[in-house]
Amino acid sequence: MREHLHAEWTKLRTLAGTGRLLLTIVVLTVGVSVAASAVVSCASESCGYDPAEIGLFGVQVSQAVVAILAVLAITGEYGTGMIRLTLTAMPGRTGVLAAKAIILVCLTSIVGSVAVLASALAARRVLLDNGFPADVLLLTSGPVLRAAVGSVLYLALIALFGLGVGAAVRDSATAIGVVLGLLYLFPALILVIADDDWQRLLWQISPMNAGLAIQATTHLSTLPLSPWAGLCVLTAWATAALLGGGLLLRLRDA
């Protein structure tokens, strides 16, 4: 496995655009979170806003870049034909996919941690100026810490989800379209469907809506799923994508 990890790390860090994508993840997460914090204000102790969801709102945008990076980590090899060389040098296809997954999770977790921490600190300053209480977005608070750590886990799971879809689809544009479609389609459907029961069901099975429940720190009883249960839904999506992608990787020719 050491050889697999070294090879996959070398390929990912030398992949054109990897550095820019990682920087974009941080910039988008922080920038969108600060922008979201700047447009809300709180005139009382309970103004109805969840400061953690606002301060970490940028994750909803930067997840698209994480998905693109994950897809390109495997479809890029199919585009260049390097996958044949990879599978010739390392015939264990499951090991190749596992190594890609480990490298992606580690890299996404590191970059995601930087992005989430910077977002929380920057957004806290803005929210304080907008009338939120002094204890807003303190990482020493249990719920806020759970939201921050959960957001990093969320991005790592999105990376695994994208990798699995990329392994199954092989084509970069198609795989990116599938991943982003599955992420953003459910929220769009929830907005256009009037039936409460259908809205609740779509929320519960949506990888994005359910997964981002991990950021909630207020009004938890009103959520269709608890924060950790919601993250488990995204875990199921990522697991299914990886298993499906891994199976197709083993069954098909390169």
Half-sphere exposure of 59 (CA within 13 A, CB side): 39
> What is the C-alpha to C-alpha distance for residues 68 and 176, in angstroms, rounded to an integer?
6
- The pLDDT of 81-96, averaged and rounded, is 75
- Report the range of poorest mean pLDDT among 42-51, 70-79, 198-207: 42-51
How high is the pLDDT of residue 46? 64
- The pLDDT of 230-247, averaged and rounded, is 96
- The pLDDT of 136-156, averaged and rounded, is 93
Q: What is the pTM of this model?
A: 0.93
Q: How far is CA 32 from CA 41, 55, 61, 232, in A?
A: 16, 9, 8, 26
- The pLDDT of 121-145, averaged and rounded, is 89
Q: Is the pLDDT of residue 251 over 90?
A: no
> What is the C-alpha to C-alpha distance for residues 90 and 103, in angstroms, rounded to an integer?
16
User: What angle is formed at CA 173 by the lines to CA 172 and CA 176, rounded to 5 degrees?
Assistant: 80
CA 229 to chain centre: 16
> What is the C-alpha to C-alpha distance for residues 144 and 150, in angstroms, rounded to an integer?
10
Q: At what angle do helices 227-251 and 142-169 cross, to 10 degrees?
A: 20
- Encoded amino acid at 4, one letter: H
> What is the C-alpha to C-alpha distance for residues 121 and 33, in angstroms, rounded to an integer?
10
- The pLDDT of 116-137, averaged and rounded, is 90
Domain residues for the domain of 53 are 2-39+47-251
Q: At what angle do helices 196-205 and 172-192 cross, to 10 degrees?
A: 150
How high is the pLDDT of residue 45? 63
How high is the pLDDT of residue 175? 95
- Residue of 80, 90, 78, 74 lying closest to 242 (CA atoms): 74
> What is the number of structural domains in the chain?
1
How high is the pLDDT of residue 154? 98
Mean pLDDT of the chain: 90
